[in-house]
């Protein structure tokens, strides 16, 4: 397999991995349970409609933002926002679990978990949710890694039992941090580029690396 194909393929697969293990599809799938578990004083189904509306607005904004700012910056902003939302939500639930927030105060702070969930859906829809699919299409790969969706959804109940809700959200937040670092270091901008141009980018990058290694070896002799 050519390096010009293998490297972008690896990048897309890895991005799909972080997409799934930051909890995007899991939280969508179990949204009603999560809303009820967070004791949000709002009808769960109304909350789902609200979340769907927020995602629709985010998708409309994405169509504009991706053309003007590119996929890489949006991915970085999305991953950063997701990590903040998940780590904050995990901390909030942990404080409740530890008794640091009374039941009376918890009722007054209902908007905190709701706002974090809505912001999470908004910011994930601006980057980590749609961009791996766009990249896979741009690079001529398949639709994505459906098996990862199956794994993460099936793992969620077990994770909730063994790690508690705050542990699960800490895990998703941590994965979002690592995923964002991955994007910063490895993901090039692909906006407006053809498959040939993207492959050429990796070929040139590999050639530059090999030339640098030869120079280092020559100087060492």
pLDDT value of position 1: 47
pLDDT value of position 204: 64
Question: Which tokens hold the place of 136?
Answer: 């896979």
- Are 15 and 183 a contacting pair, CB within 8 Å? yes
* Whole-number Å distance between alpha carbons of 23 and 153: 9
pLDDT value of position 215: 45
In the chain, what are the domains? 3-193 (1.20.1250.20)
pLDDT value of position 124: 95
The 3-state DSSP composition of the chain as helix, strand, coil percent (nearest 5) reads 80, 0, 20
CB under 8 Å to 138, separation ≥6 — which residues? Answer: 190, 193, 195, 198
Per-residue pLDDT tens for 64-123? 888 888 889 999 999 999 999 999 999 999 998 898 888 888 778 888 888 999 999 999
Question: Which tokens hold the place of 216?
Answer: 């280092």
What is the chain's Cα-based Rg? 20
Q: Which residues of the chain have pLDDT under 70?
A: 1-5, 138-146, 192-199, 201-221
């Amino acid at each position: 397999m050519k390096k010009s194909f293998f490297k972008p393929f690896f990048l897309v697969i890895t991005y799909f991995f972080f997409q799934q293990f930051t909890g995007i599809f899991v939280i969508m799938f179990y949204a009603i349970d999560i809303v009820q578990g967070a004791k949000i004083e709002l009808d769960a189904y109304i909350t789902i409609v609200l979340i769907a509306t927020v995602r629709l607005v985010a998708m409309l904004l994405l169509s504009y933002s991706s053309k003007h700012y590119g996929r890489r910056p949006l991915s970085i902003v999305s991953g950063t926002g997701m990590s903040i939302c998940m780590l904050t939500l995990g901390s909030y639930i942990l404080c409740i679990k530890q008794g640091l927030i009374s039941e009376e105060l918890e009722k007054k702070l209902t908007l905190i978990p709701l706002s974090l969930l809505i912001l999470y859906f908004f910011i994930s829809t601006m980057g980590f949710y749609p961009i791996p699919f766009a990249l896979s299409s741009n690079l001529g790969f398949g639709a994505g890694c459906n098996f990862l969706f199956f794994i993460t959804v099936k793992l969620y109940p077990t994770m909730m039992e063994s790690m508690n809700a705050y542990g699960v959200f800490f895990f998703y937040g941590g994965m979002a941090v690592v995923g964002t670092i991955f994007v910063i270091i490895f993901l090039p901008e692909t906006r407006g580029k053809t498959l040939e141009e993207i492959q050429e980018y990796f070929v040139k990058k590999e050639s530059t690396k090999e030339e640098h290694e030869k120079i280092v070896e020559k100087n060492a002799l």
